[in-house]
Structure 1
Amino acid sequence: MSELRVHNFTISLDGFGTGVGQAPDAPFGHAGERLHQWMFATRFWADMTGAEGGGTGADHAFAAMHEPGIGAEIMGAGKFGPPGWQDDPEYRGWWGDEPPFRTPVFVLTHRPRPSIEMKGGTTFHFLSASPAEALETAREAAGGKDVRLGGGPSVVRDFLAEGLVDHMHVVQVPVLLGRGVRLWDGLESLEDAFDIEAVSTPSGVTHLTFTAKRR
């Protein structure tokens, strides 16, 4: 069976995966771009955005695992757009006409709408479903490949709580946000379900890799 994977999910030292005040010009609220500076310096990010340069060290190696073997993605409503996007029938996501996913993407929302086919191979589907139901649907669409769980923090937390995540890459960055949405709340003893490895890099971040123990 295909796996459910989380990649490049970045949190602050105090565990927040996003800040407060999310808006069209501030996808991560008051956190701004501080959580993701480590990624912006990698060749992975340069290749994704069409820029030149970028480092090829450990941060790049971890970041680049985001792409291979993925056949579909699941994300929450907050990753697809700012609060209130459901009220705009013309809204098509943060990423413009050609989103970077290039697979079916299943957006979890209590207000489903018709699917949106974008340039480059991305099609957004909108589901009101439990984590297990959403994963079953995404696996069917993935055609035997793995499914990526994109976030935000509350969505990742829900899938972890139900024991559905097979592999998770979390990046802890040396900033304090103080407020926002935390990843770890309610996940006491999560270490019992995963083998965990930690790698720190010269950029100052720590890559935490969680691999589900055999059930």
Structure 2
Amino acid sequence: MIDRTGRVICDLTVSADGYSAGLDQTEERPFGDDGGDGSGDKLHAWMFDTPDENRAEVDQMTAAAAFIMGRNMFGPVRGAWDRRWNGWWGGNPPFHAPVFVLTHHAREPQPMDGGTTYYFVTDGVAAALARARAAAGGGEVSVHGGATTINQYLAAGLIDELRLHIVPFTLGAGTRLFEGVPPLRLEQVTSRSASLVTHVTYRVLS
């Protein structure tokens, strides 16, 4: 029986054709070729070029009581696993809560400044969700990406709400949301257009 204590939500920025990252992702280019300089500047310009216009959505992305992310969202594997690497998010990540990182590479928990602690989970999506729910204490759990991780949770029927930030250009290839996910019924809850992005929230019905 699936434990439904607290909502499981996800936030993801995607191109108009559904890609959350382009091809050729590297340590220097975490979002691959997105038509900008590879740092995600084009795909995520709405966060940084017009922050006041999108303040509510930016704040909402880090408001959960616990987070789950894939290993690529945390950072690249250097060799087998470099324990000196603390992720893309710097010394004071924006989460300020427990973050459960899905990986095949075991590692001790990594506390960071500001209240974020990374926990590395090697036994799958269900185990990560169970640990995140326990840490959240009935609060929201956010599956924070990337698309490959979100797809696993969608395919397993474990996402309650899908918050997409859709930018008006296409990538044509890369890491795509809904890849390998069975057909879903979605109910649109909210939609708001801004100058660089459209924010759409869906409730996942099945």
C-alpha spacing 1:85/1:64, structure 2 compared with 1 (3 Å) = farther
Shift of 1:38: 1.4
Query: How far off is 1:117 after superposition?
Result: 0.8
Counterpart code for 1:18 = A
Q: How many residues align?
A: 197
- Determine which structure has the larger helix proportion and give its number: 1
Q: Give the superposition deviation at 1:87.
A: 2.9
Pairing of 1:53-132 with structure 2 (within 5 A):
54-55=52-53, 59-68=54-63, 70-84=64-78, 86-132=80-126
Residue 23 (str. 1) matches residue 26 (str. 2): yes
1:40-89 deviation line (CA, Å, top 9, x unaligned): 2344xxxxxxxxxx33xxx3333332233x21100000001125365322
Q: State the alpha-carbon separation in 1 of the partners of residues 124 and 107 from structure 2.
A: 17
- Take 1:130 and 1:110, find their aligned partners in 2: how far apart are those partners? 9
Q: What is the root-mean-square deviation of aligned Cα atoms in Å?
A: 1.9
> Which ranges in structure 1 are unaligned for 5 or more consecutive residues?
44-53
Q: What percentage of aligned pairs have identical amino acids?
A: 39
The residue type equivalent to 2:201 in the other structure is T
**Worse-superposed segment, 148-157 or 122-131:** 122-131
1:198, 1:140 → 2: CA distance?
29
- TM-score w.r.t. structure 2 length? 0.87
Q: Which residue of 1 aligns with 2:200?
A: 208
Checking the alignment, whether the CA contact within 8 Å between 2:70 and 2:149 is kept in structure 1 is: yes
Distance 1:122 1:199, change over 3 A: same
Whole-angstrom CA distance in 2 between matches of 1:173 and 1:63: 15
Change (3 A) 1:202 1:76: closer
Runs of 5+ unmatched residues, structure 2:
none
| Runs of at least 4 residues off by over 4 Å | none
